[in-house]
Amino acid sequence: MRTLDEKKISELVARLCIQANRQLPEDVIRALEAAERAEPWPSAQQSLSLLRENLDAARQRCLPICQDTGFTCVFARLGQDLHILGNFYEAIQEGVRQGYQRGFLRKSVVSDPLRRINTDDNTPAAVHVELVPGDQLHITVLPKGFGSENMSRLAMLKPADGLEGVRRFVLETVRAAGANPCPPIVVGLGIGGTFDQVAALAKQALLLPLDQSNPDPFYAALEAELLREINQLGIGPQGFGGQITALGLRILTLPTHVAGLPVAVNISCHVCRRASGIL
């Protein structure tokens, strides 16, 4: 049995909060660069060029990529042979608190959805924990901006709706979102499970690298097909029109009930932020 002090967890989470807000993952940067090369519309290409310049400025000047530094989502894979010295959940919240204070990141969380009082430290974070074999702790921080989060949707389709129903729901969701989520977007698609599980699936799909297809050939083909159809909508970068509305689309699935077909679409703007570390 290996032991780990809660302070180490707080330190890692704080560092990941700052890192994720200042620098995009390499796969997202490559997708943006490829989009700029592929976009034939001059105004759309100019928009993509400006987005890339903004990324460079944020990295060079150690500033947030976007003024919306997000609602902090923390995904933890906790080894069953690892013993935490202290309070695991509070250690994560303390890490978020420290990261947003040290990094001078905007605090956007309110303590109550109706009374709207800011917590002043961006806590509490949303924490998702998966128990896995081993004695390590793997943490991924995803600061989720709400311009795109507000455009996300969930539907409990009928099994008879099938693949065509899923495709229609995805395209309707992106079309209705339009320019609101600051395209080019990244789409996380969850299919299956239950009402609560499918929403988490869609969020977790945003953690997947954009340059790696689904290991299941059926879903890899569906990812490519949906991405192509989304880019044919003509929304384009920042909603100015063009051929690149989305940088990528990733799918995660779970077994579901014979009577249901849950589907969730979680949209991210081009600032699809995530940073990971292992203790």
pTM: 0.94
Could you tell me how far CA 245 lies from the centroid of its own chain? 17
Residue located via tokens 């949209």: 267
Mean pLDDT of 244-259: 98
Nearest-5° Cα angle at 216, 215 to 218: 140
Look at residue 1 and tell me whether its pLDDT is greater than 90: no
**Domain spans in the chain, listed from the N-terminal domain onward:** 2-21+65-144, 147-276
Mean pLDDT of 130-140: 97
pLDDT of 39 reads 87
Helical H segments across the chain, by residue range: 6-22, 26-38, 42-61, 88-102, 146-149, 162-177, 195-205, 217-231
Per the CB < 8 A criterion, the answer to whether 76 and 129 are in contact is: yes
Nearest-5° Cα angle at 234, 230 to 240: 125
Residue located via tokens 């689904």: 214
DSSP string, 27-46: HHHHHHHHHHHH---HHHHH
Share of the chain above pLDDT 90, in %: 96
CA-based nearest residue to 31, from 269, 238, 254: 269
Mean pLDDT of 109-136: 97
Look at residue 21 and tell me whether its pLDDT is greater than 90: yes
pLDDT of 43 reads 86
For 171-206, what is each residue's pLDDT tens digit? Answer: 999 999 999 999 999 999 999 999 999 999 999 999
Nearest-5° Cα angle at 3, 85 to 9: 60
**238 Cβ contact list (under 8 Å, min separation 6):** 47, 179, 182, 183
Amino acid at 51: L
For 91-104, what is each residue's pLDDT tens digit? Answer: 999 999 999 999 99
Look at residue 169 and tell me whether its pLDDT is greater than 90: yes
Mean pLDDT of 21-43: 92
Mean pLDDT of 7-12: 98
pLDDT of 221 reads 98
pLDDT of 41 reads 86
CA-based nearest residue to 123, from 71, 65, 68: 71
State the pLDDT confidence band at 263, using cuts at 50, 70 and 90: very high
CA-based nearest residue to 161, from 79, 236, 263: 263
Buried b (16+ CB within 10 A) or exposed e, 245-268: bbbbbbbbbeebeeebbbbbbbbb
Look at residue 236 and tell me whether its pLDDT is greater than 90: yes
Per the CB < 8 A criterion, the answer to whether 80 and 133 are in contact is: yes
| Element (DSSP H or E) covering residue 71 | strand 71-79
